[in-house]
Amino acid sequence: MRASDCTLYNCTVVANSSLGCGGGLLGGTARNTLLAFNSGALLVSQGGTFSGDEPHYLLICHSLLRDGDFELTNNYEHRDYAGYMMFEGKIAAHVVPGAEPGSRYSFHSPGVPFLMLTFYALGVLFKGRALDG
């Protein structure tokens, strides 16, 4: 099998025949997801940082794991994102007002944080830097 035989949605680095395109030990989607998350972990371990919407998605994961809610007022005030950001400044809050006075919720859909939550929790379990601080 050649790497050029892979389709866009079923392509991985061909380490051996069982992890190539199609079939194998893992389905294409699961294999690609693992590859993406492992690549992200490698980039962060080599000094990469989060930018754009990534810190906000991670903050939602943090709030779900630590507080058990989506309410982000305390998380932005306490700079809970400092554990995974490589700078000392503050990030602009991506929030909308909640129904209760003073409450703030992310304007991002919760779908991505739900997908990330398992990996975020595993990072915490294995002493990742995400919750330090």
**81 with 122, same domain?**
yes
**14 with 73, same domain?**
no
**20 with 62, same domain?**
no
Query: Which residue did the predictor score with more confidence, 116 or 34?
Result: 116
Determine the angle formed by the axes of helices 111-125 and 54-66, rounding to 10 degrees.
Answer: 70
Q: Where does the pLDDT of residue 119 fall: very low under 50, low under 70, confident under 90, or very high at 90 and above?
A: confident
**88 with 121, same domain?**
yes
**72 with 100, same domain?**
yes
**77 with 40, same domain?**
no
Q: Which domain holds residue 35?
A: 3-45
pTM (predicted TM-score): 0.60
Please state the domain count of the chain.
2
**62 with 117, same domain?**
yes
Q: Where does the pLDDT of residue 9 fall: very low under 50, low under 70, confident under 90, or very high at 90 and above?
A: very low
pLDDT of residue 25: 57
Taking residue 80's Cβ as centre, other Cβ atoms within 10 Å add up to 20
**37 with 76, same domain?**
no
**61 with 36, same domain?**
no
**119 with 69, same domain?**
yes
3-state secondary structure string across 33-93: HHHHHHHHHHHHHCCCCCCCCHHHHHHHHHHHHHCCCCECHHHHHCCHHHHCCCCCCCCCC
75-115: pLDDT as tens digits: 999 999 887 777 778 888 999 999 999 999 999 988 999 99
10-58: pLDDT as tens digits: 333 433 334 444 555 556 777 777 776 666 666 555 555 666 788 899 9
Query: Which residue did the predictor score with more confidence, 50 or 71?
Result: 71
**Which residue matches tokens 């990469």?**
48
pLDDT of residue 61: 94
